[in-house]
Amino acid sequence: AQSVTQLDSHVSVSEGTPVLLRCNYSSSYSPSLFWYVQHPNKGLQLLLKYTSAATLVKGINGFEAEFKKSETSFHLTKPSAHMSDAAEYFCVVSDRGRNAGNMLTFGGGTRLMVKP
Amino acid sequence: ETGVTQSPTHLIKTRGQQVTLRCSSQSGHNTVSWYQQALGQGPQFIFQYYREEENGRGNFPPRFSGLQFPNYSSELNVNALELDDSALYLCASSLVGGGQETQYFGPGTRLLVL
């Protein structure tokens, strides 16, 4: 069984300061890990993914995440927050289905607020 | 390249009714997954369809059922609607077997059950 824990339900930062959204996972397999972002009343947009290549993954809009197997963590960072980054962020782990498909297990989400 | 589309965008039903939600997968994708996102929560996996067959199911009762068509589009059917079925229903498509199993999501259908 797989699970994801997002350690903060809300994070508030000032524009121009660094962002850190924390995620820990549990997986019986070598996981694929993702971060998705959801703006209000919108669907989910893929930010980045880890699939056992480089442990430091770069995504869109300046975000990156580091896979640390020893800590079972996959924290999301950005050096400088922008007002447009305000949204809900989901850390996600992938589980392989019967026919090589993949089912996603989502964390509870972290709401990022950016103050001017 | 056309992204994932869903219809309708919003829907209001009453308890006991049935509902059908539709999803068109992204061009070149062969797998569709459905998720339920209750207000303030992360999405929960309902089921996945690959080659027109169910390929895994989450912890949802049998009144949640689905179909996948030869063009890889999909339907989610919910019978005997309950108040707790009110949620955003998200469809995601992916290409299984092509090394690109990342799921891409549609905008969702917001269902309100009264």
Closest chain A residue to B92, measured at CA: A44
User: Model confidence at A20, in pLDDT bands (50, 70, 90)?
Assistant: very high
Q: Could you please report the per-residue DSSP string of A10-72?
A: EEEEETTS-EEE-EEEE-SS--EEEEEEE-TT--EEEEEEE-SS-SEEE-GGG-EEEEETTTT
> CB B4: neighbour CB atoms within 10 A?
23
Mean pLDDT of B105-109: 95
| Long-range contacts of B41-44, Cβ-Cβ distance < 8 Å, separation of 24 or more | B41/A108, B41/A109, B42/A90, B42/A106, B42/A107, B42/A108, B42/A109, B43/A44, B43/A90, B43/A104, B43/A106, B43/B90, B44/A106
Burial of A29-58, coded b for 16+ CB within 10 Å and e otherwise, reads eebbbbbbbbeeeebbebbbbbbeeeeebe
Residue B18 has pLDDT above 60, yes or no: yes
Residue B1 has pLDDT above 60, yes or no: no
A81, two tokens: 């927050």
Closest partner residue to B90 (CB to CB) among A43, A99, A102 is: A43
Question: CA-to-CA distance for B49 and B97, rounded, in angstroms?
Answer: 14
Mutate to test the interface with A, among B26, B91, B101 (most CBs of A within 10 A): B101
Residue found under tokens 């197997």: A69
Omega into A18 within 30° of 0, i.e. cis?
Answer: no
Residue found under tokens 């660094």: A18
**Residue B11 DSSP class:** E
A71, two tokens: 């800590």
Residue A100 has pLDDT above 70, yes or no: no
On whether any CB of chain B is under 8 Å from the CB of A99, the answer is: yes
Question: CA-to-CA distance for B53 and A106, rounded, in angstroms?
Answer: 24
Residue A52 has pLDDT above 80, yes or no: no
- Of A75-89, B5-19, B98-112, the one with minimum mean pLDDT is B98-112
Closest partner residue to B96 (CB to CB) among A34, A100, A108 is: A100
CB contact under 8 A, A46 and B102: yes
Burial of A86-107, coded b for 16+ CB within 10 Å and e otherwise, reads bbbbbbbbbbbbeeebbbbbbb
Mean pLDDT of A92-99: 70
Residue A97 has pLDDT above 70, yes or no: no
Digit-coded pLDDT (tens) for A57-83: 999 999 999 999 899 999 999 999 999
Closest partner residue to B105 (CB to CB) among A43, A102, A107 is: A43
CB contact under 8 A, B56 and A32: no
What is the predicted pLDDT for the residue at A32? 87
Digit-coded pLDDT (tens) for B67-96: 999 988 999 999 999 999 999 999 999 987
Mean pLDDT of A11-16: 97
